[in-house]
Amino acid sequence: MALKQLHAIGQSLWLDNITRKLLDDGTLDRWCGELSLTGLTSNPTIFNQAICTSKTYDGAIRRKAKEGKSGEALFFELAIEDLKRAAELFLQAHAASAGVDGWVSLEVSPILVNDADATIEQAKRLHRQADCKNLFIKIPGTVAGARAIEESIFAGIPVNVTLLFSREQYISANNAYQQGIARRIDAGLDPRVHCVASIFVSRWDKAVADKLPPTLNNQLGVAICGQIYKTSLDRLASPGWQTLAEAGALPQRVLWASTGTKDPALPLTYYADALAAPGTINTLPEKTLLALNEPGAPDATPMPKDGAAADDTVAAVERAGVDITKLATQLQEEGASAFKSSWRDLLASIADKSH
């Protein structure tokens, strides 16, 4: 079975979704056992779909509204309730992996994407409010986010860096993590603060679908990940990281996000098959997770570590006229904008349901 093969390779499989229904009807609990799930992620779009398209949350929203709660405060209470229930299901995986696995994630308000100070304060507040040892606070890996990541790590807050697209953006996020850890070591604090770097994959291929020759279709996302995987291994082998590791620091794990296929011609497992890399995490949409469990799902083959084929593909895409650096910035800005839109829709729906 492909799911077990991915675990045997050394990759963690997390669900890219959360709804109260998955918790209430026991589906998430069952998938932990049957499908080898060891974590999950959430984002504003996921919660917008969960809350706006069902009546599952309506009663809780009305009760909280009667208590005088509204807006962001009401939403974060709902989200934390769900995520803490999910986190409890992953405690066994969390303990068995000494805290490396078994995590859930809660994102700061996307409205704060360019406000480092406000992001830092909200990350601290949500971390205290959740009071959950296996919950990440998600912070976008933007220019402003880099400072927020460093400060949050220094404060001892586990961070999931989101909205990363390119190798350069990954390096910035990794630098912020290492700087936060180095400051903790200098201050005599425990350097064991967990962090993951979430790389968005399929949006690359959607963005260039009509700009490339057929031989390069649906190749760029995997190639970018190949470059980032090679870079992550190089950084773990660097003298600077070895110094931090000797002091007890933990590696920032790479997480493949947005791994659902956008092209209907592709098999649902396309990105999962291509991104089987030891030590990494893959967050899977429900359809992809279930497809990996089907008889006949392709065998998992570990990603190449040298990045050579990835570099060749990226170079070919650039020769075809795509500016990778410019497109990475565009994709990050579009991702942030999409989350802002979901956030506004989410808060509007909560306001409507409150009455």
Any domain includes 132: yes
Over the stretch 174-215, which tens digit does the pLDDT of each residue have? 999 999 999 999 999 999 999 999 999 999 999 999 999 999
Give the pLDDT band of residue 1 (cuts 50, 70, 90): low
> Which pair of tokens denotes residue 99?
């805290």
Any domain includes 141: yes
**Residue found by looking up tokens 């065998």 in the block:** 299
Q: Where in the sequence is the domain holding 110, given as residue range(s)? A: 2-204+236-299+329-349
Any domain includes 323: no
The DSSP result for 176-241, as a single string, is HHHHHHHHHHHTT------EEEEEE-HHHHHHTTTTS-GGGTTTHHHHHHHHHHHHHHHHHTSHHH
**Catalytic annotation, residues:** 138
Q: Tell me the sheet residues that pair with 195.
A: 159
CATH code of the domain containing 176: 3.20.20.70
Q: Which residues contact 307 (CB under 8 A, 6 or more apart)?
A: 226, 227, 229, 230, 231
pLDDT for res 234: 98
Model confidence at 299: pLDDT above 90: no
Burial of residue 275 (number of CB atoms within 10 Å: 0-12, 13-18, 19+): buried
Q: Is the dihedral of CA 211, 215, 217, 222 positive or negative?
A: negative
Tell me, yes or no, if the pTM score tops 0.75: yes
Q: What is the Cα–Cα distance from 227 to 315, expressed in whole angstroms?
A: 12
Over the stretch 270-280, which tens digit does the pLDDT of each residue have? 999 999 999 99
Any domain includes 181: yes
Give the pLDDT band of residue 266 (cuts 50, 70, 90): very high
> Which pair of tokens denotes residue 314?
């990226």
Q: What is the Cα–Cα distance from 342 to 337, expressed in whole angstroms?
A: 9
Any domain includes 306: no
Any domain includes 49: yes
Tally of domains within the chain: 1
Give the pLDDT band of residue 109 (cuts 50, 70, 90): very high
CA proximity to 177, closest of 143, 132, 135, 146: 146
Any domain includes 142: yes
Model confidence at 295: pLDDT above 90: no
DSSP state of 40: B
Any domain includes 223: no
Q: What is the Cα–Cα distance from 197 to 164, expressed in whole angstroms?
A: 7
